[in-house]
Chains A and B, each alone.
Chain A
Amino acid sequence: MSTVTLPDPDRVVLARRNEVVKQLKKLAPQAVMIADLEGRRTFESDALAAYRRLPLAVVLPASTEEVSAILRFCNENHVKVVPRGAGTSLCGGATPLEDSIVLCLSRMNKILEIDAANRVARVEAGSTNISITQAASAQGFFYAPDPSSQVACTVGGNIATNSGGAHCLKYGVTVNNLLAVRMVMMDGEIVDFGGSHLDSPNYDFLPLITGSEGQLGVVTEASVRLLAAPEGARPVLIGFDSAQAAASCVAAIIASGIVPVAIEFMDRPAIHVCEHFVPAGYPLDAEAALIVEVEGSEDEIEYLLEKIEDIALDYNPISTRRSQSAEESALIWKGRKAAFGAIGQVSDYMCMDGVIPLSALSAALEGVSQICRKYRFDVANIFHAGDGNLHPLVLYDANDPGQLERVELCGAEILKLCVELGGCLTGEHGVGIEKRELMYEQFTDEDIDQQVRIKEELDPAWLLNPGKVFPILGRDALKLTIDLTRLEAGRNDATREGELVDEAAYIEGEETL
Chain B
Amino acid sequence: MTAHMRLGFHTPETEEELSQLVLEAAESRTPLEVMGKGTKRELGHAVRAGAVVSTENMRGITLYEPTELVMVAKTGTPLAEIEAALAENDQELACEPVDIAPVMGYGPGEGTVGGLVATNISGSRRILKGAVRDQVLGIRAVNGRGEIIKSGGRVMKNVTGYDLARMLAGSWGTLAVMSEVALKVLPVQRESRTLIFFGLTDYAAIEALCIAMGTPYEVSGTLHLHAELAARLTDEDLAGNGAAVTAIRVESFPASARYRASRLREALLAYGPELELDSDRSQVFWRDVQSLKMFQDVRNPLWRVSTIPSRAASLIGNLARKIDVRVAYDWSGGLIWIETPALADAAAVDIRRQLAEFGGHATLIRADSTIRNGTDVFQPLEPPHDVLTAKLKHAFDPLGLFNPGRLYRDR
Contact = CB atoms under 8 A, between A and B. Distances in A.
A501 interface: no
Interface in A419-456: 422-431, 435, 439, 442-444, 446-451, 453-456
Interface in B294-325: 306-310
B163 A207 contact: yes
Nearest to B147: A446
A117 B159 contact: no
Contacts of A443: 150, 160-161
Contacts of B392: 203, 205, 208, 454, 457
Is chain A's binding surface mostly helix, strand, loop or mixed? loop
A451 B56 CA distance: 27
A195 interface: yes
Contact of B157 (A117, A168, A200, A448): A168
Contacts of B171: 203-204
Nearest to B215: A228
Interface string A200-232: 111111011011100000000000000011110
Contacts of B150: 443-444, 447
A198 B149 contact: no
Given A118-B309, A205-B388, A299-B259, A388 B159 contact: no
A424 B67 contact: no
B116 interface: no
Interface in B79-110: 89-90
Contacts of B309: 117-118
Contacts of A128: none
Contacts of A141: 214
Contacts of A212: 162-163
A169 B68 CA distance: 11
Contact of B170 (A200, A297, A431, A454): A200
Contact of A211 (B131, B162, B396): B162
Interface in B108-124: 120, 122
A254 B308 contact: no
Contacts of A296: 256
Contacts of B120: 199, 204
A257 B90 contact: yes
Interface residues on B, range: 35 or more
Given A191-B388, A300-B259, A303-B253, A389 B157 contact: yes
Given A303-B255, A450-B396, A355 B210 contact: no
B187 A207 contact: no
A426 B308 contact: no
B36 interface: no
Contacts of A453: 395-396
B70 interface: yes
A357 interface: yes
Contacts of B252: 300
B164 A208 contact: yes
Contacts of B388: 191, 205, 458
A374 interface: no
Contact of A357 (B65, B187, B393): B65
A172 interface: yes
Given A257-B90, A299-B259, A358-B67, A203 B214 contact: no
Contacts of B361: 197, 201
A9 interface: no
B67 A228 contact: no
B148 interface: yes
Interface string B151-178: 1011111111111111101110001000
B159 A428 contact: yes
A355 B395 contact: no
A161 B171 CA distance: 23
A326 B338 CA distance: 48
Contacts of A18: none
Contacts of A425: 160
A430 B159 contact: yes
Interface in A124-172: 140-141, 161-162, 164, 168-169, 172
Contacts of B334: 118, 197-198
A195 B360 contact: yes
A429 B381 CA distance: 34
B306 A197 contact: yes
Contacts of A449: 147
B125 to A, nearest CB: 12
Given A195-B308, A357-B68, A450 B149 contact: yes
A303 B256 contact: yes
B126 interface: yes
A66 interface: no
A319 interface: no
A387 interface: yes
Nearest to A451: B162
A228 B213 CA distance: 8
Contacts of A439: 160-161
A278 interface: no
B160 A450 contact: no
B155 A388 contact: yes
A427 B158 contact: yes
A25 interface: no
B128 to A, nearest CB: 9
Contacts of A176: 130, 134
A202 B167 contact: no
Given A202-B385, A259-B187, A388 B255 contact: no
Given A201-B379, A231-B216, A446-B148, A422 B163 contact: no
B159 A357 contact: no
A308 to B, nearest CB: 13
B156 A251 contact: no
A357 B147 CA distance: 27
Contact of B159 (A195, A211, A422): A211
B187 A172 contact: no
A318 interface: no
B190 interface: yes
B384 interface: yes
B6 interface: no
B69 interface: yes
Given A203-B389, A457-B395, A427 B159 contact: yes
B159 A169 contact: no
Given A196-B359, A439-B160, 4 more contacts: A175-B134, A201-B379, A357-B154, A447-B151
Closest 3 CB pairs of A and B: A201-B361, A207-B166, A427-B157
Interface of A: 116-119, 140-141, 161-162, 164, 168-169, 172-173, 175-176, 189, 191, 195-205, 207-208, 210-212, 228-231, 251-252, 254-255, 257-259, 296-297, 299-300, 303, 355-359, 384, 386-389, 422-431, 435, 439, 442-444, 446-451, 453-458, 469
10 contacts: A117-B210, A140-B216, A202-B389, A203-B171, A204-B120, A205-B167, A296-B256, A387-B156, A444-B150, A453-B395
